[in-house]
């Protein structure tokens, strides 16, 4: 006679074991119809799961994050069933849920075509219309191996063979289709109503380039058509905002094969890049950080001591000198900052010490993972480290957190989520040290008045961290800033200070990055603003446009004056129609177009237009310069439009 406790605290008693579906039905027909799965004592299960003892239960619907995951996983199985019906010779491998969708890998005899995708999607819709029940059964491991071998599914048999002997294997079936899966899945295929197949790509079996190449079909799935359409619209908008395309159009940067994963900055792009550094330098200097610079090449032994060689060795660029000494290009700046701390005798009176560096780092990323500015091999970190006592952790962390959030607001990011990432499985330091570090960071978050989502097991190998996630103009999330609590690395590298009792102590090290990678942050900014960077960041802030050559001298004089006052301005004296010039500079996303004709020359004025096509009227040159400078310094407020 199990007693089922529901999320609101109410309880239902049943005379015999009961399924999740039956509990939902006892609550209401609407809930039963909406149910996709259940959570029994916190474990996600099918609606057919049998509750045999007292338990807590929440019914999972499409409104729950878990419900969306169940929809996507089930749609991956729907895809596999459709592929096997259309292409019986294909072999299935794995089909997991990923961000915004799913994929499934297949061994095909020939490459898939766009026509294949259309046919597969049509068959999937037919399977949805059939509304086939989805059922689960359990089979001993060895029996499951033979079962899939009998179906000719060698990849599935190999997967099952890698599972320890004696394990029970769960299989899910819908119609004639059976697949290996832990589940849970939707009660029937009719629940899967909003999906689309997106593309086909190559993928190596088990991710190993020595194995055979498979075909990976990507798809997306949502609870309803409205959400699917909104997602597809976001993708269209993201394509328009692609920083790689905009970077070419605005002549900001480029990449080429001779330096994979490294940026060739053009003058305009470098201007913006240096503006980011200048802005950050100003902010962190005001916050008490001292800028330093450390070598890019260091002996591998230092990276062994810090733990990076063991953790990141495969992603580090190394070289051996003629005397057999091995060096590494730094993948991060932390060990170098510890070396600066170790120079001279440090006292508790010196703490906190705040070191900052715009450090160039190098990490080997697989060529297939490289993606414009978003994923590179050589990048610049706005890295900083605070060396402090345990008593100073809260105050320092609160200051850094507030600084990070303040900076994001200046760049137009108001929607920021913060994740608390605790100890990963692979880490340095004992549990007692991790307990102290996690407790200290949690206390700092409370003191800063911020709410954190738990991101279990995603801390750095040396300490827990806060991750700052920005939401951009089209709803995408970008993890940028971090604040990491490190009770391990200073001790590993021999950093000490003398406390008030003349004893040697190991400082706490707080790692801090606000942009993370300047290259990546630049890419995010381009896509967030669709290339229309705010005035203070724009590579060209204004252009003086003449109507005829009679205004050339006037335009030169005005342009030089604005340049001397600190405005990034260009002068367009080309023998072209003014409409053509305005259109061209509008496409270049120049914030302000300053037009000079005969009337403007006589009155010492300029006609002002924005890149969005607004006519701001005629402004006196002197007041226009003042208002441009005011808007640049305000970093946000559109002074000229007020």
Residues identified as active-site: 334, 363, 381, 383, 385, 465, 511
State how far the Cα of 133 lies from the Cα of 48, in Å rounded to an integer.
11
The Cα–Cα gap between 552 and 540 comes to 19
Edge to edge, what strands does the sheet with 326-329 contain? 297-299, 326-329, 318-320
How is residue 143 written in tokens? 């029996």
Helix (H) or strand (E) holding 72: helix 65-86
H or E, element range at 396? helix 393-410
3-state secondary structure 504-526: EECCEEEEEEEEEEHHHHHHHHH
Neighbours of 323 (CB within 10 A): 5
SS3 sequence of 107-132: ECCCCCCHHHHHHHHHHHHHHHHHCC
Query: Over 191-224, what HEC string results?
Result: HCCEEEEEEEEEEEHHHCCCCCEEEEEEEEEECC
**335-to-263, 266, 485, 517 alpha-carbon distances in Å:** 25, 32, 15, 18
Q: Residue 583 is inside which H or E element, if any?
A: helix 578-587
DSSP annotation string for 272-314: HHHHHHHHHHHHHHHTT-EE----SEEEHHHHHHHTHHHHHGG
Token reading at 232: 């597809």
* Tokens linked to 598: 């005969």
Alpha-carbon gap, residue 326 to 363, rounded angstroms: 17
Hey, what are 102's tokens?
């799913």
Beta bridge mates, 51: 18
Q: In 3-state terms, what secondary structure has residue 323?
A: coil
Q: Is 463 in contact with 437 (CB distance < 8 Å)?
A: yes
Pair of tokens at residue 477: 């999330």
Q: Which residue has the tokens 């289709």?
A: 177
Angle between helices 431-448 and 393-410 (to 10 degrees): 50
């Amino acid at each position: 006679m199990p007693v089922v406790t529901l999320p609101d605290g109410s309880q239902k008693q049943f005379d015999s074991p009961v399924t999740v579906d039956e509990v939902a039905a006892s609550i209401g027909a609407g809930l039963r119809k909406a149910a996709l799965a259940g959570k029994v004592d916190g474990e996600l299960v099918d609606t057919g799961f049998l509750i045999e003892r007292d338990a807590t239960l929440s019914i999972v619907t499409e409104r729950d994050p878990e419900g969306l995951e169940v929809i996507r996983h089930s749609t991956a199985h729907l895809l596999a069933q459709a592929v096997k019906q259309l292409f019986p010779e294909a072999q299935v491998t794995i089909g997991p849920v990923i961000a915004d969708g799913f994929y499934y890998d297949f061994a095909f005899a020939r490459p898939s075509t766009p026509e294949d995708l259309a046919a597969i999607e049509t068959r999937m819709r037919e399977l949805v219309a059939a509304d086939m029940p989805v059922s689960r059964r359990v089979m001993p491991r060895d029996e499951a191996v033979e079962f899939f071998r009998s179906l000719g599914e060698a990849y599935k048999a190999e997967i099952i063979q890698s599972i320890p002997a004696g394990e029970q294997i769960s299989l899910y079936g819908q119609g004639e289709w059976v697949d290996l899966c832990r589940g849970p899945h939707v009660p029937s295929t009719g629940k899967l109503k909003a999906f689309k197949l997106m593309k086909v790509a190559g993928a190596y079996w088990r991710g190993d380039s020595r194995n055979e190449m498979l075909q990976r079909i990507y798809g997306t799935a949502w609870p309803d058509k409205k959400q699917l359409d909104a997602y597809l619209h976001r993708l269209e908008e993201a394509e328009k905002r692609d920083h790689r395309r905009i970077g070419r159009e605005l002549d900001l940067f480029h990449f080429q094969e001779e330096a994979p994963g490294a940026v060739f900055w053009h003058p305009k792009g470098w201007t913006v890049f240096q503006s980011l550094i200048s802005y950050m330098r100003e902010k962190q200097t005001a916050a008490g950080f001292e800028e330093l610079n450390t070598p890019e090449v260091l002996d591998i032994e230092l990276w062994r001591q810090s733990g990076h060689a063991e953790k990141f060795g495969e992603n580090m660029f190394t070289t051996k000198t003629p005397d057999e000494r091995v060096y590494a290009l730094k993948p991060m700046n932390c060990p170098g900052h510890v070396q600066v701390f170790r120079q001279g005798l440090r006292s508790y009176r010196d703490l906190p010490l705040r070191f900052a560096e715009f450090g160039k780092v190098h990490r080997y990323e697989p060529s297939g993972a490289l993606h414009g500015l978003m994923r590179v091999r050589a990048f610049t970190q706005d890295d900083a480290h605070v060396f402090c006592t345990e008593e100073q952790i809260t105050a320092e962390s609160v200051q850094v957190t507030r600084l990070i959030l303040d900076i994001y607001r200046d760049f137009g990011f108001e929607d920021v989520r913060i994740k608390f990432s605790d100890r990963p499985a692979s880490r340095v330091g004992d549990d007692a040290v991790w307990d102290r570090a996690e407790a200290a960071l949690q206390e700092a978050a409370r003191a800063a008045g911020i709410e954190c989502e738990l991101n279990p097991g995603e801390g750095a190998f040396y300490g827990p961290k806060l991750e700052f996630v920005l939401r951009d103009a089209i709803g995408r999330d970008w993890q940028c800033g971090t604040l990491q609590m490190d009770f391990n690395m200073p001790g590993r590298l021999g950093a000490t200070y003398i406390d008030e009792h003349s004893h040697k102590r190991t400082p706490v090290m707080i790692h801090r990055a606000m942009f993370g990678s300047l290259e990546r942050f630049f890419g995010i900014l381009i896509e967030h603003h669709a290339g229309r960077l705010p005035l203070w960041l724009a590579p060209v802030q204004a252009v003086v446009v003449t109507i005829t050559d009679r205004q050339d001298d006037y335009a030169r004089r005005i342009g030089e004056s604005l340049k001397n006052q600190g405005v990034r301005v260009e002068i367009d004296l080309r023998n072209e129609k003014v409409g053509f010039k305005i259109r061209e500079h509008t496409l270049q996303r120049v914030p302000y177009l300053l037009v000079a004709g005969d009337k403007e020359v006589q009155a010492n004025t300029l006609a002002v237009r924005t890149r969005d096509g607004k006519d701001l009227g005629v402004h006196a040159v002197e007041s226009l310069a003042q208002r441009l400078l005011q808007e640049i310094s305000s970093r946000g407020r559109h002074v000229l439009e007020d």
